[in-house]
Amino acid sequence: MGQCGITSSKTVLVFLNLIFWFVIILLLVFITEVAVVVLGYIYRAKVENEVNSSIKKVYDEYNGTNSNAQSRAIDYIQKQLQCCGIHNYSDWQYTHWYEESKNNSVPISCCKINIGSCTGSLTRPEDLYQEGCEALVVNKLKEIMMYVIWTALTFAAIQMLGMLCACVVLCRRSRDPAYELLITGGTYA
């Protein structure tokens, strides 16, 4: 019977040690998530500046071919967000692509979906998306960042609950030394 008591107290100590390390790991993950939330909120405002500087470079490197990653990205964004140019469709007049093509038009990706005969010609601006892409990209990125922040906060709340439960178990064990695991017939009861 004495042997059983020693085994069960060793098991309890191992169990409590594992709970302690579980709390420590949860705490580290929690701190990381809080840092992500804080940094995400701080840098959310800086997204606009980054997009402003990057989008101009990408538009300057547009060449209208599918082999160019910048061209594919611009065409995709303009089709998906239903926008044209940086601020509006007239921005295309100041790009290398416009100067080289000399066709007085913007890319076909600027054409409204419901206009089947659109060629991107600037003589028919009503066929083109009027809104620029920069503001829409910034809004979409901020929206995504808010989803990330709320997801991290949700997981942090769940982890806080886990840490609280583990701490309750640890504190109860330290206050109630008479608590021991019951072993009956080789199984825990």
- CA distances, 150 to each of 38, 43, 145, 155 (Å): 11, 15, 9, 9
CA 63 to chain centre: 30
Structure tokens at 159: 């982890």
Name the average pLDDT for the chain: 81
Q: Are 11 and 189 in contact (CB under 8 A)?
A: no
CA angle 25, 144, 72 (to 5 degrees): 120
> According to the model, what pLDDT value does residue 79 have?
92
The model scores a pTM over 0.75: no
- pLDDT tens digits along 144-156: 888 888 888 888 8
**pLDDT above 70 (res 1):** no
Most confident of 6-15, 48-57, 153-162, 177-186: 153-162
Q: Are 58 and 92 in contact (CB under 8 A)?
A: no
- CA distances, 74 to each of 21, 23, 35, 84 (Å): 49, 47, 33, 9
Q: Are 85 and 133 in contact (CB under 8 A)?
A: yes
**pLDDT above 80 (res 134):** yes
Burial of 169 (0-12, 13-18, 19+ CB in 10 A): middle
Determine the Cα–Cα distance for residues 78 and 84; give it in Å rounded to an integer: 6
- CA distances, 78 to each of 51, 128, 135 (Å): 15, 11, 12
